[in-house]
Amino acid sequence: MGATKMEVATRVVLPAALSGIVASIVLAISRAVGETMIVVLAAGSNPNLTFNPVESIQAMTAYIATTATGDISTGSLDYQAVFAVGTVLFVMTLIMNLISISLVRRFREVYE
């Protein structure tokens, strides 16, 4: 009706697809956190606690992968630490999924 392709894309298509775009980005981030090997490759595997993003660190998933071998005794500090790290990862993923759901509900357009 006289609108250019760019106007249709920015005023019609993008608002209609925004909830799906935001949800996919949040879910992609939460999945990337859970993928052990890509996090190890991206962050390195140096057990170092720092807030500097350019220094090498050991990711939580890499810690679980390297520590949770078959020779951990039940009830030891390492055994409890693996479960604590797993719980933290679960809570982080749950929070990211809840954020994703709330963003989808906020930006969803209902067509009647």
Q: What's the rounded Cα separation, in Å, for the pair 58 and 45?
A: 4
Q: Which residues of 51-68 are buried (b: 16+ CB within 10 A; e: fewer)?
A: eeeeeebbbbbbbbbeee
Residue 45 lies in a domain: yes
Residue 93 lies in a domain: yes
pLDDT in tens, 47-96: 777 888 788 777 787 788 888 877 888 889 988 999 999 899 889 888 88
Where does the pLDDT of residue 25 fall: very low under 50, low under 70, confident under 90, or very high at 90 and above? Answer: confident
Residue 97 structural domain: 5-107
Count of structural domains within the chain? 1
Where does the pLDDT of residue 38 fall: very low under 50, low under 70, confident under 90, or very high at 90 and above? Answer: low
* Burial class for 18, CB neighbours closer than 10 Å (0-12, 13-18, 19+): middle
Residue 112 lies in a domain: no
pLDDT in tens, 68-80: 877 888 889 988 9
Residue 11 lies in a domain: yes
Assess contact for 97 and 34: CB atoms under 8 A: no
